Amino acid sequence: MATSTAVRPAIPDTSTISRTGQWTFGKVLNRVLFWILVVFIIVYTVFPFFWALISSIKPNAELFATPVQYWPSQLNWTFYQFVLANGDFLRALRNSVIVSFSVVAISLALGSLAAYAMGRLKFRGRTPVLYLILSMTMFPQIAILGSLYQMINALGLFDRLPALIIAYLTFTLPFTVWVLANFFKAMPGELEEAALVDGATPLQAFYRILLPLAAPGMVTTGLLAFIAAWNEYLYALTFTQSRARTVQPAIASFTGNTQFELPWGNILAASVLVTLPLVILVLVFQRKILAGLTAGAVKG
């Protein structure tokens, strides 16, 4: 007599399903939290500029209106007309352009040469010198303000643009040397050796072979130096008085119709005009900046 055996259906492993479900839920939760954090950072960083832009085109009566109006009832360009017709502000803007580009050019010219020596040449005491250069960027500006003021007065540079250029190099040049030294150090030595075998001098190998490869780092450090010089306020206020004043002290010196009135509309319009060049530069060089920040992060 044939006997039949019943085949029992396979029972799924509930522990595996449970672990899979927990893993999926955790992944979704992490993704949601990540995007919440991204949105928060974007709003936190962009909202001040948005508020300055919106307030600069509001009518004067709506600047302090209650409840707060997040959009102007009508566009008002009088604040921008005042700023663009202000001769002192335009002169200060020209001074800022001259000083900032001069600081960037000198920082990259001298900093790249020093960084090449620190990154490619082997000599005793190289590491302590690099850390000494890095330590110079850690000093607060106020710590050397008195000595710089005495030096600038002794050189007869007070209220002149070279005073600001010299002062700004104290914090842009060490940073440039430190960052670019790591770029040159990470480059393969075979490139330089091949150029030397072909008859190039070390200086020719530097500016023909290594310097083009360091373009992302040059752009990144140059832009950071430009931002530092463009936004600097303490030295500009201390070492200048009238003719060499830059935009930051010039904006702070705006006065209203009365002694105790602050012209917030004019200040916000000038702030927007001063911020726009930085935004444009970052958008134009964003690919180079990203390449410069990530260069050397992965090897092999």
Tell me the C-alpha to C-alpha distance, in Å, between residue 260 and each of 66, 188, 263: 22, 62, 10
Tell me the C-alpha to C-alpha distance, in Å, between residue 90 and each of 95, 97, 101, 199, 230: 9, 11, 17, 51, 15
pLDDT tens digits, one per residue of 253-287: 887 766 667 888 899 999 999 998 888 888 887 77
Residue range 138-167: mean pLDDT, rounded: 90
Query: Using 50, 70 and 90 to split pLDDT, how confident is the model at 61?
Result: confident
Burial 105-138 (b: 16+ CB within 10 A, else e): ebbbeebbbbbbbbbbeeeeeeeebbeebeeeee
User: Closest by alpha carbon to 287, among 227, 183, 216?
Assistant: 216
Report how far residue 126's alpha carbon sits from residue 225's, in angstroms, rounded to the nearest whole number. Answer: 24
Are the CB atoms for 268 and 56 separated by under 8 Å?
Answer: yes
Please indicate whether residue 20 or residue 148 has the higher confidence score (pLDDT): 148
Domains (ranges, CATH) in the chain? Answer: 29-76 (no CATH), 87-294 (1.10.3720.10)
CA end-to-end span of the chain, whole Å? 72
Tell me the C-alpha to C-alpha distance, in Å, between residue 67 and each of 2, 34, 62, 63, 64: 90, 33, 10, 11, 9
Residue 8: phi and psi, rounded to 5, are -80, 140
Tokens of 281: 């530069």
Residue 169 confidence (pLDDT): 93
Report how far residue 289's alpha carbon sits from residue 285's, in angstroms, rounded to the nearest whole number. Answer: 6
pLDDT tens digits, one per residue of 210-266: 888 888 888 889 998 999 999 999 999 999 988 889 999 999 888 776 666 788 889
Whose tokens are 């209203």? That residue is: 256
Are the CB atoms for 92 and 249 separated by under 8 Å?
Answer: yes
Mean pLDDT of the chain: 83
Residue 229 confidence (pLDDT): 93
Query: Using 50, 70 and 90 to split pLDDT, how confident is the model at 9?
Result: low
Helix (H) or strand (E) holding 194: helix 189-197
Global confidence as pTM: 0.81
